[in-house]
Amino acid sequence: MHGHGNEKYIAHGTSLPKKTLLTFICLLTLEATVVAHGSTVAPPQGVRFNSYNLKNVLEWKPGNRVGNRTRYTVQYAIYGDREKNTERVVWRSKKQCRDVLQTVCDLSNETSDLDDEYYARVKAINTAGASKWTTTSRFIPKRETIFGPPIVKVTVNERKLVIKLKGPMRWRFGNSTKEHSLAKYYRQMMYNVSIHNIETKQTMIFLLHNNSMAYGLLNYSTEFCVSAKVLFLSLVRQTRASEDQCVTTAKDPFFDQILLVMLGYILPLALTVFSLSLIGCLVYHYVFGNKQKKPSNLWVNHLPDPERQFCADVWLTVNLISVGVPKPNSEENNWEPDDPPAPPFPPAKRPEEEQPPVPRISAYANQTCAPPIAPPLAPLGDDGRAGAWRHHSLAWANVSQGSDYGIVVKAPSLEEEEEEEEEEEEEKGEAGPEGRGAGSSSAVGSGAQPSEQLTREDRAQWATSYRQQFQAARTSACQEEEEDEADTDGSILVDWDPKTRKLQIPSLCMLQLEPEEAEEERPECDQVEPVNILSDLYIRQSSEEATEPEDVLTNMENNWDLQINMDK
């Protein structure tokens, strides 16, 4: 139409100048091309019904090279609805979908009859004109609609799942106020319910004709996810499943109780007991655990052996026995026999200190257990120890004057002098000078030489002191012997050698081993010795000491079985 107008305008404009004429010719050609293209507006593409729960929406896409201002018009037709006397179908316009910009058109109201089948067509209209109609294929709503998810309500009743299903509901078209389930239109419609157990990851599937079901009994505190969709056994239909609705079954009441007991009673109790025991442990360690330890530098490495010390005592005791001085003293009564033995005697200890490498037992054996024949030689021919002995005994003789520690080796010399004097007076025996010479040569005698120069009073004092010691040492010896040798009953023999002037009493070890030999030797000594010095000595001792109650000598007699010759 416009084109015609332009042509008329050109025809009438001949009077215009040439310039304007050319311009209009150009415009004319432009318009002509536009008109020629207007009849070929690209029609909409992909026109189809999209039906969801019987909501039937026509959709299409714009054709090629169609501007944004393109408008669309929609028509629909019912299959078999023809005009009278013709076989052409009746196309009906959709008022709401005439000259619209959008590319969708809701035809739910127009296609609501489920027994009918429909067609629809769309054309594009723009300034250039209108396109051809694009028609859909035959649309059968009842057959082609997509079934949406049903409405699922899941409730938990203790250990049961109660599932209620509804729908899917038909799209509410037109002015209808009531919702209708699609089940109303599809008699064969069923529900496919799947119950997924989260714990065991198992899925149970149920086919339902009715709207509700109960599922149980289930485990406590277990999560289940329920989903449902529409199912047709005999029809091919597109269906959509509902979203998972997850529920958890009730908690186990017993478990709650157990938990309460555990957390409320047992756990606090255990904690309390543990903390109490911990505190107790700590307290105990605090009170008793800090024992003071002796520093390592205070530890004594060399402790004297008490058993070996005994032998030394015995040896000393032997020497003391020879110091019997018949002078009763008031101090004797004060002396308690139960007192512990006197401190270790110097002679016993000194050799140890000076010559530790020499074994003590062997040393004592030389002294104590030496055979009676060898005495004069033994001290002299002995090793340096004997020499040392001498010096010490000498030194001790001086020291002992002021103290109670007596020089045990001095006794023989004192006694011998007395005895010699007596002998000289009585018999004027030949043994005197010999004995004196021998005595001087002996180790013990030599040690006692300085004492010879002492006065008589001094000697008496010495005697008392010796006596004290003798008693002390003897008691200790007696005690120890009573303990150690209760079962050994043998007589202890004292051997007196007149030549050496030395009294030899075999040591305990010798007595134990050879009591018979010692006894045999004694007569020999008697035979060899014409003078019985010891008997006199003992007589004196016994005569004076016997008066004393519980005399030490009697004890000795009882304990040692001493045989005392009382004949003279």
Partner 1 sequence: MTTRGPRTVSCLLLFGLLASCLLVTTGRQLHLGNCKINVHTQELKQYFNEIRQSVLLDDNHMGLRLLKSLTMKDVKAVESCCFLRMLLRFYVERVFSSSAAGQSQIRRSTSNLANSFLSIKKDLRQCHAHMQCHCQEHTSHKFAAIQTSFEKLNPKEAAVKAMGELDCLLDWLDSFHHFRH
Cα dihedral sign, 373-376-382-385: positive
Smallest gap from residue 251 Cβ to partner 1 (A): 15
CA–CA dist 130, 124 (Å, integer): 6
Considering only the stretches 39-47, 87-95, 167-175, 461-469, report the one whose residues sit in contact with partner 1 under the rule CB under 8 A: 87-95
Smallest gap from residue 115 Cβ to partner 1 (A): 4
Instruction: Pick the binder of partner 1 from 79, 265, 274, 284 (CB under 8 A).
Output: 79
Tell me whether residue 261 is exposed, middle or buried, using C-beta atoms within 10 angstroms of its C-beta: 0 to 12, 13 to 18, 19 or more. Answer: exposed
Smallest gap from residue 97 Cβ to partner 1 (A): 19
404 binds partner 1 (CB under 8 A): no
Please, which residue, 88 or 291, has the CB nearer to partner 1?
Answer: 88
Instruction: Pick the binder of partner 1 from 35, 52, 63, 81 (CB under 8 A).
Output: 81
Smallest gap from residue 155 Cβ to partner 1 (A): 20
Considering only the stretches 1-9, 198-206, 455-463, 506-514, report the one whose residues sit in contact with partner 1 under the rule CB under 8 A: 198-206
Please, which residue, 205 or 267, has the CB nearer to partner 1?
Answer: 205
Secondary structure E strands in 113-222? 118-126, 129-130, 134-135, 151-157, 160-166, 190-197, 202-208, 212-215
Please, which residue, 228 or 431, has the CB nearer to partner 1?
Answer: 228
Contacts of residue 104, defined as CB under 8 A and 6 or more positions apart, other chains included, come to 57, 58, 59, 60
Length of the chain measured in residues = 568
Tell me whether residue 132 is exposed, middle or buried, using C-beta atoms within 10 angstroms of its C-beta: 0 to 12, 13 to 18, 19 or more. Answer: middle
Smallest gap from residue 38 Cβ to partner 1 (A): 28
CA–CA dist 347, 368 (Å, integer): 13
247 binds partner 1 (CB under 8 A): no
Q: How many CB atoms are closer than 10 A to CB 317?
A: 23
Instruction: Pick the binder of partner 1 from 26, 101, 233, 298 (CB under 8 A).
Output: 233
Cα dihedral sign, 507-554-415-395: positive
Q: How far is CA 363 from CA 306, 431, 562, in A?
A: 17, 31, 27
Considering only the stretches 37-45, 231-239, 364-372, 455-463, report the one whose residues sit in contact with partner 1 under the rule CB under 8 A: 231-239
Please, which residue, 28 or 208, has the CB nearer to partner 1?
Answer: 208
187 binds partner 1 (CB under 8 A): yes
CA–CA dist 58, 49 (Å, integer): 5
Rama region for 62: left / alpha / beta (φ>0; ψ in -120 to 50; rest): beta
Smallest gap from residue 168 Cβ to partner 1 (A): 18
Smallest gap from residue 46 Cβ to partner 1 (A): 15
222 binds partner 1 (CB under 8 A): yes
138 binds partner 1 (CB under 8 A): yes
CA–CA dist 70, 64 (Å, integer): 11
Residue 203's DSSP bridge partners are 196
Instruction: Pick the binder of partner 1 from 54, 66, 74, 77 (CB under 8 A).
Output: 77
Amino acid at the residue 57: V
Smallest gap from residue 188 Cβ to partner 1 (A): 7
Instruction: Using alpha carbons, select from 302, 337, 264 the residue that is nearest to residue 551.
Output: 337
Smallest gap from residue 196 Cβ to partner 1 (A): 11
Q: How far is CA 425 from CA 189, 208, 270, 400, 429, in A?
A: 161, 153, 102, 31, 9
Considering only the stretches 168-176, 215-223, 274-282, 285-293, report the one whose residues sit in contact with partner 1 under the rule CB under 8 A: 215-223
Interhelix angle 533-545/410-426, rounded to 10 degrees, is: 100
234 binds partner 1 (CB under 8 A): yes
Smallest gap from residue 226 Cβ to partner 1 (A): 15
116 binds partner 1 (CB under 8 A): yes
Please, which residue, 29 or 137, has the CB nearer to partner 1?
Answer: 137
Smallest gap from residue 179 Cβ to partner 1 (A): 20
SS3 percent helix, strand, coil of the chain, rounded to 5, is 45, 20, 40
Please, which residue, 115 or 487, has the CB nearer to partner 1?
Answer: 115
Contacts of residue 234, defined as CB under 8 A and 6 or more positions apart, other chains included, come to 188
188 binds partner 1 (CB under 8 A): yes
Tell me whether residue 23 is exposed, middle or buried, using C-beta atoms within 10 angstroms of its C-beta: 0 to 12, 13 to 18, 19 or more. Answer: exposed
Instruction: Pick the binder of partner 1 from 99, 115, 457, 487 (CB under 8 A).
Output: 115
What string of DSSP letters covers 80-126? Answer: T-B-TTS-PBPPEE-GGGSSBSSSEEE-TTTT--TT--EEEEEEEEE
Is the CB of residue 60 less than 8 Å from the CB of residue 74? no
Smallest gap from residue 26 Cβ to partner 1 (A): 46
- Is residue 76 classed as helix, strand or coil in its secondary structure? strand
- Is residue 546 classed as helix, strand or coil in its secondary structure? coil
Considering only the stretches 135-143, 299-307, 311-319, 342-350, report the one whose residues sit in contact with partner 1 under the rule CB under 8 A: 135-143
Contacts of residue 436, defined as CB under 8 A and 6 or more positions apart, other chains included, come to 416, 420, 501
143 binds partner 1 (CB under 8 A): yes
Considering only the stretches 100-108, 194-202, 295-303, 328-336, report the one whose residues sit in contact with partner 1 under the rule CB under 8 A: 194-202
205 binds partner 1 (CB under 8 A): yes
Task: Pick out residues in 272-291 that bind partner 1 (CB under 8 A).
Answer: none
199 binds partner 1 (CB under 8 A): yes
85 binds partner 1 (CB under 8 A): no
Smallest gap from residue 98 Cβ to partner 1 (A): 21
235 binds partner 1 (CB under 8 A): yes
Smallest gap from residue 204 Cβ to partner 1 (A): 5
- Cα torsion for 511, 515, 518, 520, to the nearest 10°? 180
426 binds partner 1 (CB under 8 A): no
Interface positions with partner 1 (CB under 8 A)? 77, 79-83, 86-90, 115-117, 119, 137-138, 140, 143, 187-188, 197, 199-200, 202-207, 209, 218-219, 222, 233-236
